[in-house]
Amino acid sequence: MALPLILVSNDDGITAPGIRTLVKVAKKIGEVVVVAPDGPQSGMGHAITIGNTLRLDRSIAFEDLGIEAYECSGTPADCVKLAKHHVLKDRRPDLVVSGINHGSNSSISVLYSGTMSAAIEAAIEGLPAIGFSLCDYGHEADFSHTEEFVELIIRQALEHGIPENTALNVNLPKKSSEPIKGVKVCRQAHARWQEEFDERLDPRNRRYFWMTGSFVNHDKGEDTDEWALVNNYVSVVPCQFDMTAYHAMATLNEWDI
């Protein structure tokens, strides 16, 4: 029986520790091909490259693991497009996984996340997909405690399938003295970043701005990704790319237009 084909991408770049952890886990389950950005692409959202050239080169980043890998000059969404239509043009991945991101992509962050945009792009292309993120922004973050949960979720996705046009947004708690309690299927919390822009001067006395801010959770529900993570659970949120606000259609149909 042929092993499942698993495509791996991310937004932190092909040399990031998080993607190496994800590749090592995926390699235990199936045949792995990596197509990832050649450098950091965090916060790119679902950007694609239109006005510039796209470059795709073989990478030795996972040569020690015997993994076929490519680095791309574009965004995470570009990586998935090139993987499907070029690298794997004669083969269909059984699963696309993205990450493991250095930092949370829970609640509203899913909209800005390059990690999740790679997964969403796969879903747009009709491929089952999962984005994995660790709630630790440090480059030296410890991913060791995540491996059993990443493996569990990948195996379950391959066994049971992921609903069509859906990508799973999986966030994993930061390593602590307490073990992770388990996995919860959640909804996206109503939470957002309260941003501020710090006005500064550069060495040539030219004005520039530096975005700062704080995260505000307005949601007190115990069925959200934010609640799960605060309480040391892995959160799994099914996401869709249809952004139609169906509940608003009746109101708009009352307009005189």
**pLDDT tens-digit map of 228-238:** 999 999 999 99
Is residue 123 situated within a structural domain? yes
90 labelled binding-site residue:
no
Is residue 207 situated within a structural domain? no
176 labelled binding-site residue:
no
The pLDDT of residue 245 is above 90: yes
* Cis-peptide into 108, omega within 30 deg: no
Is residue 13 situated within a structural domain? yes
Q: Residue 188's closest CA among 247, 130, 237?
A: 237
Is residue 215 situated within a structural domain? no
Tokens of 110: 């899913």
Q: Which domain holds residue 235?
A: 5-189+222-252
Provide the whole-model pTM: 0.93
- Mean pLDDT, residues 45-73 taken together: 96
Task: For residue 178, give Cα distances in angstroms to 70, 184, 230.
Answer: 37, 17, 12
Query: Band of the pLDDT at 193, cuts 50, 70, 90?
Result: confident
The CA distance from 39 to 206, in Å, is: 28
64 labelled binding-site residue:
no
Is residue 197 situated within a structural domain? no
pLDDT of residue 212: 87
When divided into structural domains, the chain yields a total of 1
Bridge partners (DSSP) of residue 71 are 36, 57
Is residue 142 situated within a structural domain? yes
Highest mean pLDDT, choosing among 15-29, 192-206, 213-227: 15-29
The pLDDT of residue 250 is above 90: yes
Tokens of 22: 């994800």
11 labelled binding-site residue:
yes
Is residue 212 situated within a structural domain? no
**pLDDT tens-digit map of 119-173:** 999 999 999 999 999 999 887 899 999 999 999 999 999 999 999 999 999 999 9
The CA distance from 65 to 20, in Å, is: 10
Task: For residue 257, give Cα distances in angstroms to 38, 246, 251.
Answer: 48, 18, 12
Task: Provide the percentage of residues in the chain whose pLDDT is more than 70.
Answer: 100
The pLDDT of residue 192 is above 90: no
Side-chain half-sphere CA neighbours of 114 within 13 A: 25
**What DSSP line would sit under 27-74, residue for residue?**
HTTSEEEEEEESS--TT-TT----SS---EEE--TTGGGT-EEEEESS
CATH number at residue 180: 3.40.1210.10
